[in-house]
Chains A and B, each alone.
Chain A
């Protein structure tokens, strides 16, 4: 058996930065993204059009926003499967507010607050009661979406105010949508948060060794709680965007998004076991998933077949470096 962990090999000096950059996960993702982009532009004459490229971004902006927070959460060693259910519940609450005559600012506030509240509920269960997050969020996933089903049944909320449509349908400049701008701002904010602040260092420390982090003075529980709140918050924001884009709320809204968000995060090079990952990787993974689904869509490939490509992409991209390392190790 080879399952006994080998003593860690410590090199005399680190790889040169240039060499490290070339063999990094992000570099692999860039190659994949460029390849898919090239294939797409050859496969369909409609691909290289500013307007279709703009449409492309809607494929990943909403899920990408959640993926940033989810990346931090997974790096810290936890997971949140309830994000799509939070979207459904927040959207339902916004729908109720519309029936009561609420205006756009109130709607946005409700979406964000409900998202934050759901995230805090997850965080409390995980950190206060010490429960495994995967089980807690499977439970809250049923609970949150279940509440949406109780309120709505087989009905739908419509009649959102016209000014509300801007968030999901509006353009800031030419073909640059509001969603894309928000995605880019969030990317920068999360990059700074994870890679340039002590909070980010603490997230990595917790993911690598929670006990050691605790003894180093990191407030493990509080940090994790904040990460759950952050994930809820981003789900609330995503809920505002989706509801605004669709202009209606059904309890089945955003069904299955949680697995796509997690696929995005893992494809972006975040270790599902925690402790490693980067925001640049997640941005690239979001782009790749958007490119694949949009390019295949232009070729009239049905959505369910696209999911095969996404699934294969996930497994191959994860397996490739492992196989590569093994082949190099044997020769």
Chain B
């Protein structure tokens, strides 16, 4: 039991249950299975993005360009769909993945080949990709009436009573779970985060692995581009502006250490769900949506304070590191 309680995911899960309980005292219908499914569906895109960000953060890097990547790729598929409605949706999704992959690979190459810190690279590409969206579209919007019914309807179609969007999220979660716990790449990602120097001696190609994680986060950004545009049925330069920080916030609340090496798929998913529940609950319990920003900010600070305590208690340090006492 004690070992069980050590997992921070359990505590986060408990916090979410308590949160739902509190909300349902004000608005009982919130805890309905049907409504919870709806909340899950609403949070799907954030969960997918948080997983993509997680693999980057685990290697002590950061990808600030994910939301811009989403915006650019979304515009590409929306314009393709408007110009050629005959292109089948699965092919469009493949295109979205490829465009995202290219954008991610640019980040990855700069980090790998030139050794520029990832925060600098992605700070640059954050503005470049969003600017490129403007150049591509000429500032025009792609509205719902220009998108084909399939484009909009694909993710809304129900399969076994659950929308396709939720299924995609479940599939991505499963893939990441396998990647992180059952593959050599997953182990290398953790190893690099815990100790990059030791990873080199263990035969891990640190630079190449970082390149791969940026490719992964890029593909995730691209996939989310299609999902976002077809969900909110508008493609513009302003899409997901500033959303990169929500993604990082979901990771931090999910217990992923910004210093790398600590974090899990479950944590990222729960962190995203936590934010999703708050944004879904505020309107129904009659709190102004303007409160949401301050609440998620407080949640981030609280989460990082609690996580820091948890990390300090882990007594597996062999060589005692002298902490810079404040």
Interface residue A131 (Cβ < 8 Å from any Cβ of B): yes
Determine whether the beta carbon of B301 is less than 8 Å from that of A139. yes
Closest Cβ–Cβ distance, residue A325 to chain B (whole Å): 11
Determine whether the beta carbon of A311 is less than 8 Å from that of B296. no
Interface flags, A309-325, vs B, CB<8A=1, else 0: 01110110011001100
Determine whether the beta carbon of A211 is less than 8 Å from that of B322. yes
Contacts of B128 in A (CB 8 A): 307-308, 311-312, 315
Contacts of B163 in A (CB 8 A): none
The 8 Å CB contact of B300, one of A130, A138, A224, A323, is: A138
Determine whether the beta carbon of B124 is less than 8 Å from that of A128. no
Determine whether the beta carbon of A311 is less than 8 Å from that of B252. no
Determine whether the beta carbon of B123 is less than 8 Å from that of A259. yes
Q: Of A37-45, A143-151, A180-188, which stretch is located at the interface?
A: A143-151
A309 to B89, CA, bound (A): 34
Closest Cβ–Cβ distance, residue A320 to chain B (whole Å): 10
A153 to B199, CA, bound (A): 50
Determine whether the beta carbon of A305 is less than 8 Å from that of B200. no
Count residues of chain A with CB under 8 A from any CB of chain B: 59
Determine whether the beta carbon of A319 is less than 8 Å from that of B116. yes
* Max count, chain A CB within 10 A of own CB: residue among B124, B125, B134, B304: B124
Interface residue B270 (Cβ < 8 Å from any Cβ of A): no
Contacts of A256 in B (CB 8 A): 242
A258 to B128, CA, bound (A): 16
Contacts of A251 in B (CB 8 A): 290
Contacts of A310 in B (CB 8 A): 127
Determine whether the beta carbon of A142 is less than 8 Å from that of B297. yes
Determine whether the beta carbon of A221 is less than 8 Å from that of B300. no
Contacts of A129 in B (CB 8 A): 305, 308
Question: If the complex has contacts A142-B297, A146-B293, A305-B131, are A315 and B124 also in contact, measured as CB distance less than 8 A?
Answer: yes
Determine whether the beta carbon of A311 is less than 8 Å from that of B297. no
Question: If the complex has contacts A135-B304, A221-B326, A322-B114, are A142 and B132 also in contact, measured as CB distance less than 8 A?
Answer: no
Listed by A's residue number, 23 A-B pairs whose Cβ atoms lie within 8 Å are A129-B308, A130-B326, A131-B308, A132-B258, A135-B304, A139-B301, A141-B297, A144-B297, A146-B295, A213-B324, A221-B326, A259-B64, A266-B123, A307-B127, A311-B124, A311-B126, A311-B131, A315-B110, A315-B116, A315-B121, A318-B116, A319-B110, A319-B116
